Amino acid sequence: MTLVAKAAIVNKAAIFEGGCLCGAIRYRATSAPIRGVICHCAMCRKHSGAPALAFVHFRTEDFTWLHGEPTRYRSSAFAERGFCPMCGSTLSMHEEVLADRVQIAVGSLDEPQRVRIDDHVWTEQQVPWFRIDDALPRFPTSSSAVATKAAAAAGSAGGR
């Protein structure tokens, strides 16, 4: 295999693309995710309509909206959630203290099986009948892996 062919394989491996259900919004990340998380907070449930919401974090400098951009809803004093204004697909999360990254809903990726999840957060708000049988770390509120203002505000807002 030539050096050019090997470089093409490596570059393709680092590219992640996705978008909304109707196709109005498309994005690309040109590096592997920094981390992945499954959030069980009430806000993520309401935002997604699901019992939990999985996100992967991409560095902002490696992330581009290719076609359209999500409409953002300020869900708390510290975060905004992105969705397609045409079809309503849940797409992103933008936290003030994590301005160096964009959090993308795993379900919006074209190949969600390519990412890894590192932990579960806000398990104190987990729906009792929803169980995921894995050995990943679980945190009652925020993970110790990232900065957050959500835990301090949880008493008044119920999460992020």
* 94: β partners: 80
Rounded Cα gap, residues 18 and 133, in angstroms: 27
Rounded Cα gap, residues 93 and 50, in angstroms: 16
For the chain, domain boundaries:
33-151
User: Is 3.90.1590.10 the CATH classification of the domain at 33-151?
Assistant: yes
Residue 68's pLDDT is 97
> With the CA atoms of 67, 68, 73 and 78 taken in that order, what torsion angle do they form, in degrees rounded to the nearest 10?
50
Provide the pLDDT confidence category of residue 157 given band limits of 50, 70 and 90. Answer: very low
What is the average pLDDT score of the chain? 87
Q: Which two tokens stand for residue 142?
A: 């925020």
Q: What is the pLDDT of residues 20-68, one digit of tens each?
A: 999 999 999 999 999 999 999 999 999 999 999 999 999 999 999 999 9
Residue 122's pLDDT is 95
Rounded Cα gap, residues 108 and 5, in angstroms: 29
Q: What is the pLDDT of residues 74-100, one digit of tens each?
A: 999 889 999 999 999 999 999 988 889
